[in-house]
Every structure is written in C-alpha cells, then in structure tokens.
Amino acid sequence: MFKKIKLFLSDVDGVMTDAGMYYTESGDEFKKFNTHDGMGFNLLTKAGVKTGIITTEYTKIVERRAAKLKIDYVYQGRGFGSKLEAAKEICLKEGISLKETAYIGDDINCIELLQEAGIAACPANAVEQVKNIKGIIHLEKKGGEGAVREFIEMLFKQGLIEGNK
C-alpha cells in the first residue's frame, strides 16, 4: 500500500518538456512547457503538497518557470550530486520519508530516484531502462504533452493526495 504523498518531484527535459533543445540563430535557447502541467503543480500546492524540480541541466528558463509555478524546491545543474541525493535532502528539510514522495522521470539519470520514491511514473517517451523499472507507472502522455498533469490526476484519483482538486 502506498503512503500519502507529501512531496511531488519532477525532472524537466523529457518530462515537463518534449526533450527538445531549441536554439535560435543567435544561440538563444528555448523550451516548450505544457500549461496543463503547470495547473497540476498549482493543484498540488492548493492541496498542501510540497513540489520540486530536480534536473541536471541548468537554465534560466527553468528558473523562471519554477518561479511562475511557485515550486518549493529547484535543484539545477550537477552541483547537488545525484537526483536521489537531492530528493533525500528535500525530505530531510521537510521531515518526511522518500516513501511519501512521488517522482516522474524519463532517463537513466532518474533511475535511482525512481526506484526509491514512494510512487514513480514515466512519460510515454521515457527510455527503455526507465520503462523497465519494477512497479513504475507508464503514463499515456509524452513529456511536454501533459504527462506531469496525468500523473498528478492519478495521485488524486487514487487518494494518495488529499484536498480539493
């Protein structure tokens, strides 16, 4: 039986985005985020669930998106060690266990955390190594197409998150 979720964590590229890295002629980078995912984070906040992003890339774009969504924790770049270590640090700060954490990821650098989280999911476009993790939830939507929201809705429906959605 799963524990109630008190912390929701997400990867960015390939989960909140379509995994594309878009560059203009002048070298500006941009990413496409899905507003349905953004509303999902809003629903979590209203339900009292802490939120976080853990990504090995570092961009101002993610910083701005996280600020707009009022995400509680943002770990970017490689300075935090592994994604699992970052999640453990957040759990320590919040006084909760990893078993009270939901995580969505799509690539090999997410595997450790996906294996340790209380409940884990991957978008339809995740790599095979992630899809093969025992017990992982395979979402129908791809990253950048509302996969995060799909996972959040599932958590509410299963009663793993309390509150009005």
Domain extents in the chain: 7-157
The pLDDT-based confidence of 162 (bands split at 50, 70, 90) is: confident
106 is in an annotated binding site: yes
Partnered with residue 53 across adjacent β-strands are 10, 74
CA distance 135 to 91: 22
Q: Which fold has domain 7-157?
A: Rossmann fold (3.40.50)
Condensed to tens digits (0 to 9), the pLDDT of residues 96-129 reads 999 999 999 999 999 999 999 999 999 999 999 9
37 is in an annotated binding site: no
3-state secondary structure of 63: helix
107 is in an annotated binding site: no
Whose structure tokens read 């809705």?
153
Helix axes 147-157, 35-46, angle to 10 degrees: 30
What's this model's pTM, rounded to 2 decimal places?
Answer: 0.95
